[in-house]
Amino acid sequence: MGFSRRLFVGGLPAVVLGRTAALEEGRPVGPSAVGTDLDAAGANVAGAGQAAHERFMMSAIEQARRNPAYPFGAVIVRTFTGEVLARGVNSSAEHPVLHGEVVAMTDYVRRHGNRGWSETTLYTTGEPCPICASAAVWAGVRRVVWGSSIEEIERTGIGQIGLPLREVVSRARAFYTPDLLLGGVLRGRTNRLFREAQRLRLCS
């Protein structure tokens, strides 16, 4: 995929289908930016607007509610059909690397094998940490969409390694070219989820 098809969203300059744009974090991405919009059946995530991204983020939030103290939920969607292929929630109490995204990726491999990653979009309630960002890079997941930023999560008392997803991606540019990095989707809901989790942890 050439640079003219890359889309970086979150205050970074973007080149979209050969046109330069400065996109705000969480701003809707419509058909004029990345192709055809999502149809009535929910079938083309590649050209999805904000409503479609929010629908899949709600699915990630549903997963997150399974771990109310550490609500990192994730779903993996087939980009060109909108089919939800895998789900996961933070299970680090069982194993330290079982973050929501890693659990979803493990679920994906169990169901579909270790293939087809470039045709998927990862939705996650929190910006992927370096572990999860690296896993997405190594797998070749081309599209990552998240809700709360690392900084927002850290403000709710959950320690974070201060290495943004985009920094991890930039260090892998020799072999990895994402199609979409989009943060801030339903951030109001995901931020509230993490604040509720903080209150729960403080009361326990």
69 Cβ contact partners less than 8 Å away, ≥ 6 residues apart: 197, 200, 201, 204
Residue 30 has pLDDT above 90, yes or no: no
The mean per-residue pLDDT over the stretch 97-119 comes to: 98
pLDDT in tens, 35-88: 222 333 344 566 668 999 999 999 999 999 999 999 999 999 999 999 999 999
CA 53 to each of CA 57, 60, 181, 182, 198: distance values in angstroms, whole numbers, following the listed order: 6, 11, 12, 9, 26
pLDDT category, 204, cuts 50, 70, 90? confident
Q: pTM for the full model?
A: 0.80
Contacts 24+ apart (CB under 8 A), 58-63: 58/186, 58/189, 59/84, 59/87, 59/123, 60/100, 60/123, 60/124, 60/125, 60/147, 61/125, 61/147, 61/186, 61/189, 61/190, 61/193, 63/87, 63/88, 63/89, 63/100, 63/104, 63/125
Amino acid letter for position 130: P
The mean per-residue pLDDT over the stretch 14-20 comes to: 27
Lookup: tokens for 195: 């604040």
Q: Are 72 and 126 in contact (CB under 8 A)?
A: yes
Residue 2 has pLDDT above 70, yes or no: no
Start-to-end Cα distance in the chain? 49
Q: 113: how many CB neighbours lie within 10 A of its CB?
A: 8
For residue 45, the model assigns a pLDDT of 66
Residue 133 has pLDDT above 90, yes or no: yes
d(CA 129, CA 173): 18
d(CA 193, CA 5): 33
Instruction: Name the more confident of 27 and 148.
Output: 148
The mean per-residue pLDDT over the stretch 6-34 comes to: 32
pLDDT in tens, 139-198: 999 999 999 999 999 999 999 999 999 999 999 999 999 999 999 999 999 999 999 999
For residue 49, the model assigns a pLDDT of 87
Helix%, strand%, coil% for the chain, nearest 5: 40, 20, 45
Lookup: tokens for 182: 């989009």
